[in-house]
Amino acid sequence: MSYGYDDDSKRKKRYVIISISSVLLISMVVAVTVGVNLNKHDGKGDSESNGQITASVKAVKDICAPTDYKKTCEYSLIKNGNNTTDPMELVKTAFSVTMKQITDAAKKSQTIIDLQKDPRTRMALDQCKELMDYALGELSNSFEELGKLEFHKLDEVLINLRIWLSAAISHEETCLEGFQGTQGNAGETMKKALKTAIELTHNGLAIISEMSNFVGQIDIPGLNSCRLLAQEIPSWVDQRGRRLLQAASEYSDAKPDIVVAQDGSGQYATINDALKHVPKKKNTTFVVHIKAGIYKEYVQVNKSMTHLVFIGDGPEKTIISGSKNYKDGITTYRTATVAIVGDYFIAKNIGFVNTAGAIKHQAVAIRVQSDESIFFNCRFDGYQDTLYAHSHRQFYRDCTISGTIDFLFGDAAAVFQNCTLLVRKPLPNQACPITAHGRKDVRESTGFVFQGCTIAGEPDYLAVKETSKAYLGRPWKEYSRTIIMNTFIPDFIQPQGWQPWLGNFGLDTLFYSEVQNTGPGAALANRVTWPGIKTLSNEEILKFTPDQYIQGDVWVHGKGVPYTPGLLAANPNAATTIPSNSAAPGFSSFTDTSGAGSVSPAASPQGSIKMVSKSN
């Protein structure tokens, strides 16, 4: 996209300036994400007669050029920019104004909550307040990071900003979704209050994406060299933490910081009691060993609990269980048995369960908002909406996820490697779409990637598969993105592969691709041919491997978790996404298809399907 500069060197310099100036938008997004409405128009004054003001307007227009909501962008920057053309001065001014506006908006939000009598509405408002607080925190962190920006780390910063802005969009969407099924006009009020916030968030993402694209195209010495070596462990992991994370056993010989045990052999009998003693905002590993037992409690790892590690005695021995659900008047977001918000979280050898059952509709076993979070040898059991991979970067290895409808959903950038997706028996005549990714903006760097996984069915499901048909997924939001590669697909997955959400919604804009899968359900001949179904080139496939897609070499490697950064070993029996006369070598599946034995014979003809919508 041209910004109107003839000289290429000047254009490049301008791009760098704009990339720094983009923090202004991010800071302003923080202000409005708690309900500040900046769309109140003032008079234009004498701006056209003042050369300095004209120059500042020109600078603002340059910054706003790639955005979708240009009027909102330009008005917001001109109003708070004090007629300056200095990007850093704009940032400082915007940030100071932002803090005051957030404080005022938070007080107003609390007043709205206090006036509500409907319990579900109060819960939805409280949920909004929580989500906007998260947006404020992570965007404030991004401002601080840019304040100490080193040029050679520019690409790393832009990657992080895209992730964080994508998360902010998820927070806003989840806030509004919480009002489904509520009484009164609180939901509509919040929607109007957040209109500008949503527009500015998308604008900020547009600018960051433009900068990322440009940085990726230029060749400047010292740039794009910020990654850690693959064999390094992040600096925040101390020596004891390194030994724990690199241990190959189930950590029976490791000394954790806290032990939770129901039999009295630990310091605490419940997980929540233990969490009261977790250090806040420390950059060192803190390990909690949760001994065998069924822990019937609702657990939240707060934003301040970073670098926390949960180690269990096995996913069928250490189980955290709850039963909150949407049918009983709780928002989907709040039904989670376990919620992980603090960044850099790791869980190993633990089961997460929601026992509400299919009759209770949405019932989340775990909600994950933690950036750079890892789950190894864990099990997530539920029915509808089991695993809520809400936002940020996530990595799952050797895990099992079970459920009925959309049992793996959210807007995270998540990779599932060597995992099992287990379809369970739904209510009569309900379809069973496995995934429902929720990308709202095409620029979001989010999506689900399944690599070397196995899709299987429980015996109870296989008995009803003729009337409860299973699909790889459906588009929860317009730009839903899911890539399934090197995975075993059984014969009960419908030949169409994917299921529409409602009518033509998202079919032109989604991003679905199947790459070198195996099994009787992997054939592509009868797949849907929507415009959003993608055939990926070799180069494009590499972009969705863990190293490139979620920067896994930086934060997954060295954590004691099996991890393949790139493509998997070749398998000649894999299905192809391109014509047979131009097969793409080198992409394949794990030969282990454990769980496939539960797959029944050929899929049945189409029958009556009951659709279920999603509410948060």
Question: In angstroms, rounded to a whole number, what is the distance separating the alpha carbons of residues 595 and 607?
Answer: 26
Cβ 164 vs Cβ 446: under 8 Å: no
Question: In angstroms, rounded to a whole number, what is the distance separating the alpha carbons of residues 515 and 509?
Answer: 19
Class of domain 232-385: mainly beta
pLDDT digits (tens, 9 = 90+) for 392-401: 999 999 999 9
**Residue 398 among the catalytic residues:** no
DSSP 379: E
Question: In angstroms, rounded to a whole number, what is the distance separating the alpha carbons of residues 550 and 560?
Answer: 18
Q: How far is CA 510 from the centre of its chain?
A: 16
pLDDT on residue 196: 76
pLDDT on residue 111: 64
Cβ 182 vs Cβ 326: under 8 Å: no
Give the position of tokens 């009518």: 503
Are domains 8-217 and 232-385 of this chain identical in fold?
no
Set 381, 385, 441, 553: catalytic member: 385
Question: In angstroms, rounded to a whole number, what is the distance separating the alpha carbons of residues 600 and 602?
Answer: 7
**Residue 406 among the catalytic residues:** yes
CATH number of 8-217: 1.20.140.40
Domain segments of the chain as ranges: 8-217, 232-385
Set 313, 343, 406, 441: catalytic member: 406
610: its two tokens: 């009951």
Question: In angstroms, rounded to a whole number, what is the distance separating the alpha carbons of residues 32 and 37?
Answer: 6
State which residues of the chain have pLDDT below 70.
1-53, 81-82, 84-112, 114-115, 138-139, 141-152, 216-254, 570-616
DSSP labels, 420-478: EEEE---STTB-EEEEEE---STT---EEEEES-EEEE-HHHHTTTTTS-EEEE--SST
576: its two tokens: 């192809």
The 3-state secondary structure of 102-132 reads HHHHHHHHHHHHHHCCCHHHHHHHHHHHHHH
Cβ neighbours around 241 below 10 Å, total: 22
